[in-house]
Amino acid sequence: MAFRLGAAIGGAAKRASEILDKEREEALTNTEDEIKILTQIGLPKAQERRSKRIEKEKIYDSLSKHFEGDDIAVIMAEGTGQKVLDHIDSMTKKYEQYKVNPREIVTLDPGQEAHGYTKDQVLDLVMGKVAKGVPVLDAMDQVTGKQRGSGLTGLLGGNLDNVRTERMNAIANATGVSMSELAALASDSIVYDDVQIKGKTRLFDPAAAATATKDTYSAAQMDVKLLSGIGSQIKSSESAGYGGLFDEDIIYKFTDNKIATAVNQKIREVTLQKRKEKEEGGDYGAFNTQDLQDMENALNSWVKTAKVDDTYISTEPEIVDSKGQEGKGPLNLEGLGIPELERTLNEELKPQDGKIIDAVTANVIAKQIREAMIALDSNLTEKDIDDGINRVLRKYGYNKDTEGSKITVTN
């Protein structure tokens, strides 16, 4: 049978055309499938991601009113952004003067250096970044599990990928989401960076904690305790019974109205100062035991040198001399001998405008001069010195204590 070359060539061309048509048909079918995957998987993820980013942006913007970028990075990486905002809102409603103390809520690990996170960096940190440089078609092969082959179309110099690309670009224009993003989302190609600043958040209500441990005092209870603590140290104070929550504190009143006013004003001043310190430290709750101790220390220090009408009000004042030295007495006795010291004692105790100075100040002056006399290299014994000083004290209406050298006077 004779070989018909023309028929063979014609048959091959027909077969090639059929193959090309089939490859194109398969490419279109595959492209339709891929577009369905992109729109059914990638597009919902893109829309969800946009919604979440808007939500995260709102949280960031609210946090930025109180925290720096690095603090917000710690908060949002921990996933506690909304909890922190809720805590701030709760504290603001609960305490009128509440102010956010960033270091009270965010504690950075030791040795941390500032990273300087920006808003976009923080959002990328918590949401991850869509992988860049992933070819759309490669990503789709990963999603569908199909491998693109060259086929006859490729052998003949054709490129059916152009068909896929054109169709996909059309979908991208319609959805407003780039195909690379859709492909990356469909194949879960999201990259998460490690947070560069380490720390932790702590949502703490000091007032609630103090209440839970019963370590709280009302303003009235605090006033009673503070006055009870210093009352015995002040002249003109008298016990007036007991008070406090369990009647455990001595109540004091004062026979001298000016001293009573000065003491009450000081207690008020110390109380306001402690309240200010607590609020600056983020504590808006009731006073506790530590606060009481701090205020008692402040009052005890004040009482030692406090004066009313230029007279010390403490029963045991800590007098500061002209050189600022504590406990030395109010007089400058340097270089004075025994006669000069005795003359100084007389001059200091001499009544002014018909009134003698108070007994506490007189006692301090007498003791200072006594110590100065004893320090001198003289032939006088301590008994001689005490006798001489007590004669001066009696001269001006003061009495000598029966304990000998311990001079205590009353008037």
Taking a C-beta distance cutoff of 8 angstroms, is the pair 345, 392 a contact? yes
Instruction: Determine the pLDDT at residue 64.
Output: 93
Instruction: Determine the pLDDT at residue 172.
Output: 63
Instruction: Determine the pLDDT at residue 135.
Output: 54
> What's 99-123 look like in SS3?
CCCHHHHEEECCCCCCCCCCHHHHH
Nearest one of 297, 313, 292 to 249, comparing CA atoms: 292
Residue 324 confidence (pLDDT) above 50: no
Instruction: Determine the pLDDT at residue 180.
Output: 67
Q: Which residue has the higher pLDDT, 112 or 389?
A: 389
Mean pLDDT, residues 336-340 = 89
Mean pLDDT, residues 259-279 = 90
Taking a C-beta distance cutoff of 8 angstroms, is the pair 214, 297 a contact? no
Instruction: Determine the pLDDT at residue 347.
Output: 86
Specify whether the backbone of 324 is left (phi greater than 0), alpha (psi in -120 to 50) or beta.
left
Q: Which residue has the higher pLDDT, 171 or 317?
A: 317
Q: Which residue has the higher pLDDT, 376 or 29?
A: 376
Instruction: Determine the pLDDT at residue 329.
Output: 59
Residue 48 token pair: 């969800």
Q: Which residue has the higher pLDDT, 380 or 97?
A: 380
Q: Cα(404)–Cα(386) distance, rounded to whole angstroms?
A: 7
Q: Which residue has the higher pLDDT, 320 or 322?
A: 320
Residue 380 confidence (pLDDT) above 90: no
Segment 207-240, tens digit of pLDDT:
666 666 567 777 788 888 888 888 888 878 877 7
Residue 388 confidence (pLDDT) above 80: yes
Q: Cα(160)–Cα(144) distance, rounded to whole angstroms?
A: 17
Q: Give the count of beta carbons closer than 10 Å to the beta carbon of residue 234.
A: 22
What pLDDT band is residue 84 in, cutting at 50, 70 and 90? very high
Taking a C-beta distance cutoff of 8 angstroms, is the pair 309, 261 a contact? no
Q: Give the count of beta carbons closer than 10 Å to the beta carbon of residue 30.
A: 17
Mean pLDDT, residues 319-329 = 50
Q: Tell me which residue has tokens 């001269």.
A: 395
Mean pLDDT, residues 331-345 = 85
Q: Cα(313)–Cα(308) distance, rounded to whole angstroms?
A: 7
Q: Cα(46)–Cα(133) distance, rounded to whole angstroms?
A: 18
Is the Cα dihedral 198, 200, 201, 207 positive or negative?
negative
Residue 371 confidence (pLDDT) above 80: yes
Taking a C-beta distance cutoff of 8 angstroms, is the pair 100, 66 a contact? yes
Instruction: Determine the pLDDT at residue 17.
Output: 54
Which spans in 315-358 are helix H?
A: 338-349
Mean pLDDT, residues 156-165 = 51
Mean pLDDT, residues 71-87 = 91
Taking a C-beta distance cutoff of 8 angstroms, is the pair 83, 90 a contact? no
What contacts 188, CB < 8 A, 6 or more positions away?
A: none
Instruction: Determine the pLDDT at residue 184.
Output: 66
Q: Which residue has the higher pLDDT, 358 or 320?
A: 358
Which string of b and e fits 87-110 if b means at least 16 CB within 10 Å? bbeebeeebeebebeeeebbebee
Amino acid at 347: E
Q: What is the pTM of this model?
A: 0.42
Taking a C-beta distance cutoff of 8 angstroms, is the pair 192, 244 a contact? no
Instruction: Determine the pLDDT at residue 60.
Output: 93
What pLDDT band is residue 163 in, cutting at 50, 70 and 90? low
Segment 169-195, tens digit of pLDDT:
666 666 666 666 666 666 666 777 777
Q: Which of 41-50, 228-237, 332-341, 394-403 has the lowest mean pLDDT?
A: 394-403
Task: Calculate the average pLDDT of the chain.
Answer: 74
Instruction: Determine the pLDDT at residue 71.
Output: 92
